[in-house]
Amino acid sequence: MKKALYKGRFILIPIAAAAFLSLVSFIVMTLWNNLLPEILHVGTITFWQAMGIFILCKILFGFGKGGGRFGRGGAPWMKRGMEERFKNMSPEDKEIFKQKMKDRMCGFRGKFGNERFGNDWMEFGADDKRATEPQNQ
């Protein structure tokens, strides 16, 4: 039973991938041929050219999930690395980091406060007295 299921996947996955690539190529070709000749005065393309454009875009711009570096998604390995780094930071280092981020952002808080960039980075060390109270030296 398991061997039959494995063989089924072995055949089904390449067929599904080819069908998906064909569908996307057809959509790219249709959109290109219906929009770009009138907008940018370029020629029409064939199915195979559309497939080449799609593959080229995937090579140049990536295959991963969206979100990007500053998006809410982000790479999990980057998040884990940053979380580990912040756990090991002293309160003074957290305060320095907060100040550098404020300087880098030029005080930009987004349309709705800190929601665009998340509230977590603004609150590092907020529960630590030394990080929230001014230093009297």
Mean pLDDT of 105-132: 51
Q: By the 8 A CB rule, do 95 and 65 touch?
A: no
Report the Cα 31 to chain-centroid distance in Å: 25
Q: Are residues 10 and 48 in the same domain?
A: yes
Q: What is the pLDDT of residue 104?
A: 78
- CB-based burial label for 21 (10 Å; 0-12, 13-18, 19+): middle
Residue 94 within a domain: yes
Range of the domain at 99: 78-132
90, 47: one domain:
no
Instruction: Note the pLDDT of residue 95.
Output: 87
Contact predicate 56/45, CB 8 Å: no
134 compared with 29, residue with greater pLDDT: 29
Q: Which residue has the higher pLDDT, 80 or 55?
A: 55
C-alpha distance from residue 133 to each of 4, 91, 120, 122, 126 (Å):
67, 11, 19, 15, 9
Q: Are 45 and 32 in contact (CB under 8 A)?
A: yes
- pLDDT at 75 (0 to 100): 61
State the total domains in the chain.
2
pLDDT tops 50 at residue 129? no
Indicate whether 68 belongs to any domain.
no
The answer to whether residues 7 and 55 belong to one domain is yes
Once rounded to an integer, what is the mean pLDDT over residues 83-109? 79
**pLDDT: is 25 or 102 the higher one?**
25
